[in-house]
Amino acid sequence: MLTRDLAACIAQVIINRSELTIPLILAKLEEALLTQSASARFVDTAVEMIAYAGNEESLREISRLMQIDERQFGRLVGRTLDNAANWRNPFTLAYRAFALADTSLHRHTAEWTEAALKHPSAKRLWAKAILERYGRMPGDSEWANDSIASRLKDGGSPDLRLQMDALVRQPLDQRDK
């Protein structure tokens, strides 16, 4: 049985050494899935550990799991992006997800961004990711091709563009004062 203290230690190792731990967890998980000896509890625990780090390594490995069974593991994309908010900007991670060559990963990331952006605080996080990515509000052609904006149902909306422009400009205006 896993104690709370041991679970906390394991979580810290996963977060701080994900480049080592996540591939190991995935290897054991794949081995168990292929031999069909994995208990549901083991699978659930292992995939949550992979998603917990909330980083690009998590997304890469979840992409591999989705190749085995997208229906079972696709939900982990959203979990990973949600977990990312604990340590980093999840929209920066979403941009990285779109840079990976996996259409299933892109679809699940787009679903997550669509849902997340219904909250005003998420728009502020996206604005920070835009500023980090472009250094300013993207121009018309950049906006039209932006990995996130171009996948949103209202991505072409002038209202959304104006909202994001205002949010991106806030830190720039404060810096110029």
Residues 6+ apart with CB under 8 A from 177: none
Mean predicted lDDT score pLDDT of the chain: 90
Residue 164 counted as domain residue: no
Cα–Cα distance between 108 and 48 in angstroms, integer? 17
Residue 55 counted as domain residue: yes
Query: What is the pTM for the complete model shown?
Result: 0.88
Residue 49 counted as domain residue: yes
Residue 44 counted as domain residue: yes
Residue 174 counted as domain residue: no
Q: What is the pLDDT of residue 130?
A: 97
Residue 107 counted as domain residue: no
User: What is the tens place of the pLDDT at every residue in 111-130?
Assistant: 999 999 999 899 999 999 99
How many separate domains does the chain show?
A: 1
Cα–Cα distance between 145 and 48 in angstroms, integer? 32
Mean pLDDT of 65-69: 93
Residues 6+ apart with CB under 8 A from 33: 43, 68
Residue 120 counted as domain residue: no
User: What is the tens place of the pLDDT at every residue in 82-103?
Assistant: 999 999 999 999 999 999 999 9
Residue 8 counted as domain residue: yes
Query: Residue 18's domain spans which residues?
Result: 1-89
Angle, helices 56-73/75-84, rounded to nearest 10 degrees: 150
